[in-house]
Every structure is written in C-alpha cells, then in structure tokens.
Amino acid sequence: MQPILRKRFGTKVRCLRKASGLSQEAFADKCGFARTYMSRIETGVLMPLLMLLRL
C-alpha cells in the first residue's frame, strides 16, 4: 500500500474519531482494536484489512 494513501486514511480516521469526541483508546475499543493498533493506523504506519472495517 502506498504510504501517502495510508497517511491520508489515518488522518481521516483521526479526524472522525476526534469529531465523535472519543479518545483513541475508547475508539479502538469500539472498533475491537488495540489502542496501539489504532495509533499505527492514525499515523499511517498500518492500513487495516478491508474485512476488519465495519460499515
């Protein structure tokens, strides 16, 4: 996956999380992820598999 795409996705996730008023830990818990995993997504280090995303 291209680093720019991971970074843009992570930035969007962070924006949506902050708009919802949730901490990173609370948001990760709602998603069923560890907080460290969520941090890596938000910083663009990781991109979650599509099957992990819930719509």
Average pLDDT, rounded, for the chain: 89
Q: Would you state the pLDDT for residue 54?
A: 63
Taking a C-beta distance cutoff of 8 angstroms, is the pair 34, 46 a contact? no
The span from the CA of 4 to the CA of 29, in Å, is 26
Q: Where are the alpha helices (DSSP H) in the chain?
A: 3-19, 24-31, 35-42
For the chain, which residues score pLDDT lower than 70? 1, 50-55
* Residue position matching structure tokens 């990173």: 24
Report the percentage of the chain scoring pLDDT > 70.
Answer: 87
